[in-house]
Amino acid sequence: MAVRSRFQQLRSKWSRTFPPNLARLMLLACAALWGGSYLVAKFAIAAIPPQWLMGIRVLGACTVMLALFHRSILPALKPAIIVPALVSGVTYWGTMVTQTIGLQTIDPGRSAFLTAAYCVLTPFASWLVTKTRPGAINLVAAVICLTGVGFVSLRNGGSFALGVGDWLTIATAVVFAFNLTFLGVYAKRFHPIAVTWVQFFVAGVLFIAGALVTEPAPNAAWLEPSVVVAFLYLFLGATMTAQIMQNIGLAHVPPSQASIIMCTESLFAVSFSVLFWGEAITWNSVVGFSLIFAAVLLSIIRKRGD
């Protein structure tokens, strides 16, 4: 007991003395890692088919989580968690499969900004699931976001056109909004780590099943050094390290500030894509991305202010 009490005192002291600016930098680094994941995934899926990539990544995360948090996960694995596992797992699978397949045909920065629309859509998904009516500011944000998507879809000659990859990525934002809504409901009934684990597990099984049916089998190209490095970035960097930095940052930075810092993910994504992928940014894309980003900020600020 004395050792535990001493540890709690040290942890409390560490929590009080942790530099807030360092915590903000960690959140910014987290956003940068997530932003970079669009570019890295774009590279990785040139060698590894989308569902194989996500299946290995997610089940790898499950293995590490079970090793670290088995005391929280195992007691929650009861019949009552089956429905939450299926609902959250299927919606997470739908989110990631549409985003990753869509990323095959559109640029990383474009994918990041279209995906970011989930922030605007979540209040409406919550309205359908929990009957919590969105406010007027949410409607304003939705109109701004829709206008931004319109500018993104603007082509030469003034016509509007969205490709298959664009529509899949928009579907990603819609499904992700429902996934977050369901997670918010289930996390109040079960341990949040356990809910995350069962979500990853169900999604991982679906990814591998889909890969076995629709995608080619693993081959030697997956073991090329550049592909392995890309996968390690996605697994260790964008999944494990980013999550740890997010959790630490959220403990020491006010939620309103943290949300704004983390939503710079899309800005990092388009910056990396322009610098390293050669993504062309036209005037209408700049306007569209700016409007979508403004809508996301409006939704986040409103949500944190409620």
Residue 211 identity (one-letter amino acid): A
Quick one: which of 222, 238, 226 has its CA closest to 99?
238
State the pLDDT at residue 93.
94
State the pLDDT at residue 303.
53
Asked whether residue 298 is assigned to any structural domain, the reply reads: yes
Secondary structure (DSSP) of 256-277: HHHHHHHTTHHHHHHHHIIIII
- Say how many domains are in the chain: 1
Quick one: which of 72, 48, 120, 90 has its CA closest to 200?
90
Asked whether residue 247 is assigned to any structural domain, the reply reads: yes
Provide the mean pLDDT of the chain. 82
Whether 11 shows a pLDDT value over 50: the answer reads: no
Asked whether residue 3 is assigned to any structural domain, the reply reads: no
- The 10s digit of each residue's pLDDT in 100-153 is 899 888 888 888 888 888 888 888 888 888 887 887 888 888 888 888 888 877
Asked whether residue 127 is assigned to any structural domain, the reply reads: yes
Whether 14 shows a pLDDT value over 50: the answer reads: no
Give the range of the structural domain holding residue 85, as residue numbers without chain letter. Answer: 24-305
- The 10s digit of each residue's pLDDT in 170-201 is 999 999 889 888 877 887 788 878 888 898 89
- The 10s digit of each residue's pLDDT in 38-62 is 999 888 888 899 899 999 888 988 8
